[in-house]
Structure 1
Amino acid sequence: MVEALPPPEDMPEEILRTEIITEARSPIDGKLLSAAEYAELIASLQLDSPPEPMVSSDIKYLLFLLRLRSQIRLILPFLDFSF
């Protein structure tokens, strides 16, 4: 029964959850960073991310029509949309 208990040097999870993390590792090269350096690096990486791809208005309109058609088919399944 005693073997099932964790070793006395293990810190309880409740204490570990309240611990404030003061250093981190860089996601790029794994170097140790302070909390401020890590925050700056993450902010710069988010700024360097590519912008969302632009979709033309014609494609947006076609997608709208396809969604509308699928909703109409749910309500009126006997209509024939094959054209």
Structure 2
Amino acid sequence: MPDLPTLFADGVTEATVRHGVARLTLAVQDGKGQPLQTGILVVPLTQLPAVVGAMTRLLREVEAKSREATAAPQLPAAPAVEAEPETFRFQG
């Protein structure tokens, strides 16, 4: 897989549509809680429903896994071991 730029965002500060293209300005909060722009996600308007649909399905999967984890019976605590957070791949 080629090296692709990775953008981290915890919010969208602006979203516009111009000439059939949606542009979402992504941002993170800086140390003072102010938004700091990290990049722009550019999506053809015709593909926006597919992109939003994939994100919605991912959110539903995350919510379902969270409910499963909450509903699971609690086991006795294991010795403290540094573990990686659970990861899973969503194929939209």
- Fold-level similarity (TM above 0.5): no
Higher strand share: 2
Which structure has more relative contact order (CA 8 Å, sep 6+)? It is: 2
Q: When you count helix as a share of all residues, which structure comes out higher?
A: 1
Which of the pair has more CA radius of gyration? 1
TM-score with structure 1 setting the length: 0.27
TM-score by length of 2: 0.25
